[in-house]
Amino acid sequence: MHARPSLTLETAAQALAQWWELAGLEPFDLGPAQRARTQALQQQTFEAPTPEVKVTPARVTNAKKPVDALAEAHRLAQSCTSLDALFKALESFDGCGLRANARATVFADGRAEADIMVIGETAGREDDEVGKPFQGPEGDLLTKMLASVGLDRQQDCYLTCLIPWRPPGNRNPTSEEVALCRPFLARHIELAAPKAILMVGGLTAQTLLNTADGIMKLRTRSFDYGLGTDAAVPKAYAQCLFSPAYLLNRPRDKALAWQDLLRFEQKISSLGVATRGRNKAKGS
């Protein structure tokens, strides 16, 4: 803020005299004593008062710093020994701002004991309303995609998502939000211990595989996903798949998704992954 200019009685008197002259008035004589006092006062300089500025104290919040929140996410996730405990840990975690604006924590759907785990990207509007992943038109399409290769969504699959809280306006999650949710998803996979994983959408695949490669490149590859730090635990077969939301916007790529599903079906057949849907289709 710039300081206001100094104001003296001399300059004020000059301005007043000019005003009197313009108004056709004659300046009056103050008398000898008053003139002496005025002359003394003219030697003093007066500063115009500075408006009072009110300083509002910074609001103190209980929000954790990103580093502290990430450490807390890792600690909470690793402390869980069951899926129920993991859900409660997510419900209690306040390090991610998405939780405060979401209606529900979108945790899982399907059968927890299933050999196949299907992992989506972000909870959407319908997911947030129901509290389960893959709802609405996207969920309907996924159900049909799985059924096309003999997989029953509710019996053969266990479904979850990377971001369990819907971002406002269905915006993309930030890198910080992804980092905060990743420890919970990694622990979710360890506790579910699937034999095969479908990583649905580029964000899911990039996060779990720690890569910057896009979905077009990743969908043609196969991966072995480690289920924890114990080397004795068998790894799960993992494969990428276009997200249903992407396919609804680009239906011409459904042919590519069909190829990916066929490859996944052939692989789980070779691994002996048990599926009720395929057995039902065969009439057994």
In which order are the strands placed within the sheet that holds 236-241?
109-110, 157-163, 116-122, 196-200, 236-241, 222-225
List of residues 6+ apart from 271 with CB closer than 8 A? 195, 196, 237
Q: pLDDT digits over 88-98, tens only?
A: 999 999 999 99
Read off the pLDDT of each residue in 116-127 and give the average, rounded to a whole number. 97
Percent of the chain with pLDDT over 90: 69
Element (H, E) at 88: helix 83-92
For residue 278, pLDDT beyond 80: no
pTM score of the predicted model: 0.75
Q: pLDDT digits over 150-164, tens only?
A: 999 999 999 999 999
| pLDDT score for 47 | 45
For residue 11, pLDDT beyond 60: no
Torsion angle, CA of 208/212/213/216, rounded to 10 degrees? 80
For residue 124, give the amino acid letter.
Answer: G
Task: Give dist(CA 187, CA 207) in Å, integer.
Answer: 14
Q: pLDDT digits over 203-217, tens only?
A: 999 999 999 999 999
For residue 13, pLDDT beyond 60: no
Give me 102's structure tokens.
């979401």
Rounded to a whole number, what is the distance in angstroms from the first to the last CA of the chain? 84
Element (H, E) at 186: helix 175-192
- β-sheet bridge partners, residue 46: 7
From the list 255, 233, 282, 261, the residue with the least C-alpha distance to 157 is 261
| pLDDT score for 276 | 72
Task: Give dist(CA 65, CA 95) in Å, integer.
Answer: 8
Choose between 42 and 245: higher pLDDT: 245
| 45: three-class secondary structure by DSSP | coil
| pLDDT score for 222 | 95
Task: Give dist(CA 115, CA 111) in Å, integer.
Answer: 9
The alpha carbon of residue 259 and the mean position of all alpha carbons in its chain are separated, in whole angstroms, by 31
